[in-house]
């Protein structure tokens, strides 16, 4: 079959010979950032993760003909929407995976619901996906800003660093992360002594850091992401902020960011992740296979794409359908026990409930390799980590 | 103790100094642009990519060859400058007789290609590069903690900026250069190899970008987009200073760094736009820029 896709699309066919007539065709579309700021934490790695899931699931032995295709949404909602429409209407895509950047994820969630397909989001952080803008066909797998705020904000405050100063990226994501963390800090008995909005993106943080230092806070919360967080941490080390007794808490940080900083600069930093490659034997085994194919260790977003795809394929196999409502219902009715995320389940509103983990970045002496970066501090049980469904604003989940 | 709009003087002093440090980067980068525009009439849009290249080459020298920061400071400008020479020889040279726009488009395309290649091989997250051990730590100035490395950045930038200004404005070589841009045929008639001189001048402008890249590597995230984020601001600096004015680029570079620093105290959210607001005002009042000659 010749498939004409936009020039921007990369088609990674999962070549299986045409099976007998009763074999089932399933097409998965990995839609994420392949060239911009989130390309390392999602990007091609998510495509590799999806393909690994298809192979590990043994789709070929189960008379399922699964194809994985991918495209670059460039973090723009309009581009993401166009690709999603084309995939559903013309290319026979049954489920879209990953979709980092909250604005694109929310746009794709609506289109997915209209088309009665499935969105398994791993890369985006907005709680809106399972809140006011929830859809019955959205499954939000890996993390959200509330879980990060709960993990990092709660743990740091309870450790005794009660006075917080926030450095916040001046756009919707930063504001919501700041707001959610402030709430957790105050609930945990902490106090917010100040906050400051910095332009997005920013290169030089020295001025903002000195203002944070002068505030007398115990901890500086970084409500930003990617390059902004990396720059802020690098410069905090340079200005001796951490040596002078203040600590830093990164509210959204991926292992790729920590890797970019190196243990020397990032040591002592506290952060929350859903998955770390060196967590146990199963994650190590999977991550080693991933690294062999992709060339670097997986992020939690990659892991989420893998696990989400496994659970999706199980649903398709069990129901014999790729109909969005049918598959979503099965995915929510059946718990999963996963090598990467442990035991978990999909809540009615689409929020996936699994444990989150608090990590501290190792010192250079403790770290034995370039990816040996975290030590485990504590586990936050899934039920506590994520926002409760009641009061989340998700209409269909809370009625009746 | 007096306070200015609720800001204690210690904080103000600290911010002025920080502004000067950021201004150092603006000054070195805009100087390179001004040299290239002033002497070649090329709007070098790949300047940001060449700055990024400087930081990456420094990282590569350390990672693959074990060459330290101090050697990088000398070698990187030479290497990055050499790539500029190649670019001039192969492509830019063919555009001198055409409109500015063609040079702009070519260099912009080159920037996209360089950034794309680095993104492909090294990813977007960035790479670690440490401050050299001789410059780690810092001084307590009473009103702020000044990291030694930042102090070094200011000193190095000032030396390089005024060295460049001196060579172009005050030496015989500089006089040849300025004459060659005014009337290349006549200068050629005196037996001076004008195309070679132009080629080396472009290489020198690019080397300045590479030098700024090495200075930036230990304190900013070394990633393929680091130049793209900065280049627009640097262009605004050059426009405010007056396109092609060497002294204009240096003075406005430092000056705007300070103004931006102050904005970060009084109204942090406005610090991203303040330079462009100033640019708009300057263009309305003095379209040729603060130091530009009206021709």
Q: How far is A63 from chain B (nearest CA, A)?
A: 36
Does residue B28 lie within any of the structural domains?
Answer: yes
Tokens of B287: 């379209």
Q: Which of residues 321-380 of A touch B (CB under 8 A)?
A: none
CB contact under 8 A, A260 and B223: yes
- The mean-pLDDT minimum among A140-144, B137-141, B194-198 falls in B137-141
Q: Which of residues 41-100 of B touch A (CB under 8 A)?
A: none
Total-model pTM: 0.80
Domains held by chain B: number: 1
Is B135 an 8 Å CB contact of chain A? no
Among chain B residues, CA nearest to A258: B125
List phi, psi (to 5°) of A272.
-115, 135
Does residue B292 lie within any of the structural domains?
Answer: no
CB contact under 8 A, A230 and B271: no
Does residue B291 lie within any of the structural domains?
Answer: no
Domain at A10-143+280-354: CATH code: 3.40.50.2300
Does residue B2 lie within any of the structural domains?
Answer: no
Q: What is the mean pLDDT of residues B10-29?
A: 88
Q: Residues A31, A69: contact at Cβ < 8 Å?
A: no
Q: What is the pLDDT of residue A204?
A: 86
Q: What residues of chain A lie within 8 A of the CB of B150, using their CB? A: 206, 238
Q: What is the mean pLDDT of residues B171-177?
A: 92
**Helices within B41-127 (DSSP H only):** 47-65, 69-90, 100-122
How many residue contacts between A and B have a Cβ separation below 8 Å?
Answer: 101
Q: What residue spans define the domains of chain A? A: 10-143+280-354, 146-273+355-385
List phi, psi (to 5°) of B220.
-110, 160
Q: What is the mean pLDDT of residues B142-171?
A: 92
In three-state form (DSSP H/G/I as H, E/B as E, the rest C), the secondary structure along chain A is: CCCCCCCCCEEECCCCCCCCCCCEEEEEEEEECCCCCCCCCCHHHHHHHHHHHHHHHCHHHHCEEEEEEEEECCCCHHHHHHHHHHHHHCCCCCEEEECCCHHHHHHHHHHHHHHCCEEEECCCCCHHHHCCCCCCCEEECCCCHHHHHHHHHHHHHHCCCCEEEEEEECCHHHHHHHHHHHHHHHHCCCEEEEEEEECCCCCCCHHHHHHHHHCCCCEEEEECCHHHHHHHHHHHHHCCCCCCCCEEEECCCCHHHHHHHHHHHHCCCEEEECCCCCCCHHHHHHHHHHHHHHCCCCCHHHHHHHHHHHHHHHHHHHHCCCCHHHHHHHHHHCCEEECCCEEEEECCCCEEECCEEEEEECCCCCCCCCCCCEEEEEEECHHHHCCCCCCCCCHHHHCC
Q: What is the pLDDT of residue A399?
A: 80
CB contact under 8 A, B219 and A238: yes
Query: Can you tell me the ipTM of this complex?
Result: 0.80
CB count within 10 Å of CB B288 equals 17
Q: How far is B287 from chain A (nearest CA, A)?
A: 28
List phi, psi (to 5°) of A363.
-80, 160
Q: What is the pLDDT of residue B3?
A: 58
Low-confidence ranges of chain A (pLDDT < 70): 1-22, 400
Q: Residues A386, A372: contact at Cβ < 8 Å?
A: no
Tokens of B69: 């920061």
Q: Residues A283, A276: contact at Cβ < 8 Å?
A: yes
Class (C level, CATH) for A146-273+355-385: alpha beta
Cα maximum dimension of chain A? 71
Q: How far apart are CA A177 and CA A251, in angstroms?
A: 8
List phi, psi (to 5°) of A133.
-105, 30
B257: domain CATH number is 1.10.3470
List phi, psi (to 5°) of B205.
-60, -40
Does residue B240 lie within any of the structural domains?
Answer: yes
Minimal Cβ distance to A235: which of B123, B219, B230: B219
Give, in order, the Cα–Cα distances in Å from A55 to each of A43, A73, A198.
19, 25, 45
Q: Can A10-143+280-354 and A146-273+355-385 be said to share one CATH topology? A: yes
Give every CB contact of residue A103 below 8 A, 6+ residues apart in sequence: A75, A77, A172
Does residue B295 lie within any of the structural domains?
Answer: no
pLDDT surpasses 60 at B161: yes
> Would you state the torsion angle of the CA atoms of residues B40, B45, B50, B52, taken in this order, to the nearest 10 degrees?
160
Residue B88 belongs to what domain range? 9-124+135-285
Interface with chain B: mutation pick from A238, A243, A299, highest number of B CBs within 10 Å: A238
pLDDT tens per residue, range A191-247: 999 999 998 778 889 889 988 988 889 999 999 988 889 889 989 988 888 778 888
């Amino acid at each position: 079959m010749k498939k004409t896709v936009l020039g921007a699309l990369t088609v990674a066919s999962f070549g299986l010979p045409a099976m007998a007539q009763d074999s089932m065709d399933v097409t998965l579309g990995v839609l994420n950032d392949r060239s911009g700021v989130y390309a390392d934490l999602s990007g091609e790695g998510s495509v590799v993760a999806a393909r690994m899931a298809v192979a590990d699931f043994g789709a070929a032995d189960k008379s399922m003909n699964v194809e994985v295709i991918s495209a670059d949404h460039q973090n723009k909602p309009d581009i993401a929407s166009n690709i999603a429409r084309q995939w559903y209407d013309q290319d026979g895509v049954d489920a879209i995976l990953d979709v980092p950047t909250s604005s694109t994820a929310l746009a794709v969630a609506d289109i997915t619901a209209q088309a009665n397909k499935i969105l398994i989001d791993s890369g985006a952080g907005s709680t809106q996906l399972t809140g006011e803008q929830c859809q019955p066909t959205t499954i939000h797998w890996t993390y959200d800003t509330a879980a990060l705020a709960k993990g990092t904000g709660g743990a740091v405050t309870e450790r005794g660093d009660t006075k917080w100063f926030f450095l916040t990226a001046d756009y919707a994501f930063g504001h919501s992360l700041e707001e959610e963390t402030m709430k957790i800090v105050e609930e945990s008995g902490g106090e917010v002594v100040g906050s400051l909005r910095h332009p997005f993106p920013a290169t030089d943080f020295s001025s903002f850091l000195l203002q944070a230092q002068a505030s007398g806070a115990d901890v500086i919360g970084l409500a930003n992401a990617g390059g902004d967080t990396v720059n802020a941490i690098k410069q905090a080390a340079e200005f001796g902020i951490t040596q002078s007794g203040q600590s830093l808490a990164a509210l959204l940080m991926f292992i790729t960011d920590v890797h970019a900083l190196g243990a020397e600069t990032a040591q002592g930093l506290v952060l929350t992740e859903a998955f770390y490659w060196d967590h146990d034997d199963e994650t190590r085994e999977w991550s080693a296979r991933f690294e062999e194919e992709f060339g670097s260790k997986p992020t939690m977003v990659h892991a989420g794409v893998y696990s989400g795809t496994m659970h999706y394929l199980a649903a398709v196999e069990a129901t014999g359908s790729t109909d969005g409502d049918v598959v979503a219902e099965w995915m929510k009715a059946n718990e999963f026990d996963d090598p990467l995320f442990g035991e978990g389940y999909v809540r009615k509103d689409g929020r996936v409930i699994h444990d989150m983990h608090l990590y501290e970045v190792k010192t250079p002496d403790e770290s034995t390799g370039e990816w040996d970066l975290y030590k485990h501090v504590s586990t936050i049980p899934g039920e506590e980590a994520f926002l409760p469904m009641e009061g989340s604003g998700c209409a269909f989940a809370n009625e009746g | 103790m007096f306070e200015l709009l609720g800001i204690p003087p210690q904080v103000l002093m600290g911010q002025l100094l920080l502004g000067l440090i950021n201004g150092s980067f603006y000054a070195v980068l805009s100087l390179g642009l001004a040299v290239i525009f002033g002497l070649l009439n090329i709007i070098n849009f790949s300047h940001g990519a060449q700055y990024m290249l400087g930081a990456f080459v420094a990282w590569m020298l350390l990672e693959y060859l074990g060459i330290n920061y101090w050697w990088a400071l000398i070698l990187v400008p030479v290497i990055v400058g050499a790539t500029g020479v190649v670019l001039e020889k192969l492509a830019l040279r063919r555009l001198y007789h055409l409109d500015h726009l063609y040079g702009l488009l070519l260099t912009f395309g080159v920037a996209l290609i360089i950034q794309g290649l680095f993104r492909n091989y090294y990813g977007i997250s960035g790479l670690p590069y440490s401050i050299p051990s001789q410059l780690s730590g810092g001084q307590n100035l009473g009103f702020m903690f000044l990291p030694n490395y930042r102090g070094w950045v200011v000193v190095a930038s000032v030396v390089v900026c005024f060295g460049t200004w001196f060579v172009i404005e005050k030496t015989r070589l500089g006089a040849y250069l300025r004459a060659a841009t005014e009337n290349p045929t006549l200068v050629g008639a005196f037996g001076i190899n004008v195309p070679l001189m132009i080629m080396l001048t472009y290489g020198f402008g690019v080397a300045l970008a590479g030098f700024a890249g090495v200075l930036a590597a230990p304190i900013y995230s070394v990633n393929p987009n680091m130049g793209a984020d900065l280049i627009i601001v640097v262009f605004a600096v050059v426009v405010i200073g007056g396109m092609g004015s060497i002294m204009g680029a240096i003075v406005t570079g430092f000056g705007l760094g300070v103004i931006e620093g102050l904005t970060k105290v009084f109204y942090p959210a406005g610090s991203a736009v303040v330079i462009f607001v100033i640019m708009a005002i300057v263009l309305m009042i003095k379209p040729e820029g603060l130091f530009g000659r009206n021709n």
